[in-house]
Structure 1
Amino acid sequence: MITIIAAIGKNNALGKDNQLLWRLPKDLKHFKSLTENHPIIMGRKTYESIGKALPNRTNLVVSRKENWFAEDILIVSKLKEAIKFAKKIDEEVFIIGGGEIYKQTMELADRLEITLVEEDFEADTFFPKIDLKIWQKVNEEFHQKDEKNDHDFYFQTYEKINKDQ
């Protein structure tokens, strides 16, 4: 099972200048609860924006940059190698970003775990369009903004309609 997990704006915005565009602690808890104890795959820029390996997860970073190193992560030069390695560790693998990694894995993924932030954002990185001919929303949970979470948002789960696609 390959699951893509992302927080996006209504306009599919992911980030700007390698940073998130919102403050949603409830989403960070949700992300942790889903990905903990599973391998996670990310691009180098996403890793650099986080700044460290995420605990209680095998962190695989896809990078073509030679002589690049970071503590507590596995560096892999090709995305398919990262997926193959992650599947040896656990049946459930999470793709956590960024934009290019998401584009490359949309057709490989079985499930999408999307946090939809109810606002359009100015961004330089975007999530691929979710094609509703391929993906079916199977769950949605609304969360209203509050003193800790700056925006209204939804947790949405999509599953591939036809696994052969």
Structure 2
Amino acid sequence: MSRDTVAAQPARPPRTRIVMVAAVAQNGVIGNDGAIPWHLPEDFAHFKRVTTGHTLVMGRATFESIGRPLPGRTTVVLTRDPDWSADGVHVARDLESALELAAQLPGDVVIAGGAAVYAAAMDRADEQILTEVHLAPEGDTLYPDFDRSQWQETRRESHDGFDIVRWERD
């Protein structure tokens, strides 16, 4: 094959990265009765920084707990309810459809909850950005366990009451 022929072939688009972002207490809790059981404004600012310009994938209950699409981000909401819709968001009926849709939208695909969505996406994720909250509150929603031997901690930032930890898949 000539050099001209190779150069004329279209380049493959890079694969979209899948990043899971969550705040997780020491006991694995991420929520209680549809709410976050702590208030860390600095972590909210961190979430905004790492997700702005990207596409969020989240479950319906998580979206409804937020109450609106977040500015500067595109949102894909996962729900099995065929009649559910909301202004300003895309809707997908299963994770595969959500990921395919999100891959066509701006930025990385950011998995933003809840527990079932995190669990379903764990095997597909390239990176986890976890806020490790130094509390052990009561809660009814847990971040899924993951095999840390498949991940490498690449960065840790200590803050008052929490650490922000980046994990990349080995």
1:22 partnered with 2:31: no
| In structure 2, distance between residues paired with 1:91 and 1:119 | 32
1:92 partnered with 2:101: no
Offset at 1:130?
2.9
Normalized per residue, the structure richer in helix is: 2
Q: What's the RMSD between the two structures over aligned residues?
A: 0.9
Number of the residue aligned with 2:166? 157
1:81 partnered with 2:97: yes
User: Which residue among 133, 136, 142 is the counterpart of 2:158?
Assistant: 142
| In structure 2, distance between residues paired with 1:21 and 1:156 | 20
| In structure 1, distance between residues paired with 2:94 and 2:72 | 23
1:6 partnered with 2:22: yes
The equivalences for 1:50-129 within 5 A come to: 50-90=66-106, 92-129=108-145
| In structure 1, distance between residues paired with 2:145 and 2:33 | 21
2:34 partner SS: coil
How many residues get paired? 154
**Based on CA coordinates, which of the two structures has the bigger radius of gyration?**
2
Gaps of 5+ in 1: 145-151
**Letter of the 2:163 counterpart:** Y
The TM-score with structure 1 as length reference comes to 0.91
Identity among equivalent positions (%) equals: 36
The TM-score with structure 2 as length reference comes to 0.88
1:97 partner SS: coil
| In structure 2, distance between residues paired with 1:154 and 1:40 | 22
**Letter of the 1:154 counterpart:** D
2:36 partner SS: coil
**CA offsets, 1:104-137, max 9 Å, x none?**
0000000000000011111101001132111111
**CA offsets, 1:20-51, max 9 Å, x none?**
01101111111111110111100000001101
